[in-house]
Structure 1
């Protein structure tokens, strides 16, 4: 029994992708995502702030 089939997750060829349908599906997803965030009281877009530090993050 195969638990994980890598062939299902390979990058498709350009000719195999319906770009118009893909753009439509991304627009539908983003619309649902943004409205769901608003419904739960979150800002429409999450904060994306770069932070820089000379001290590396602790992994311990």
Structure 2
């Protein structure tokens, strides 16, 4: 039978493991985050500019 203390230690271990690995499992953890959040229209204005650049490059190659 698992004792209460073993359950507490197991929960603490899993919690510590999640917090230790959370920062490093993303490839972009060191990059700056969008100042207004992902859903902001300000953040999406750069996406439109990038899409225009991609279309320009694609038509230039064709």
Tell me if both proteins adopt one fold, taking TM over 0.5 as the criterion. no
TM-score normalised by length of structure 1: 0.41
Q: TM-score, normalised by structure 2?
A: 0.40
Q: Between Structure 1 and Structure 2, whose CA radius of gyration is higher? A: 2
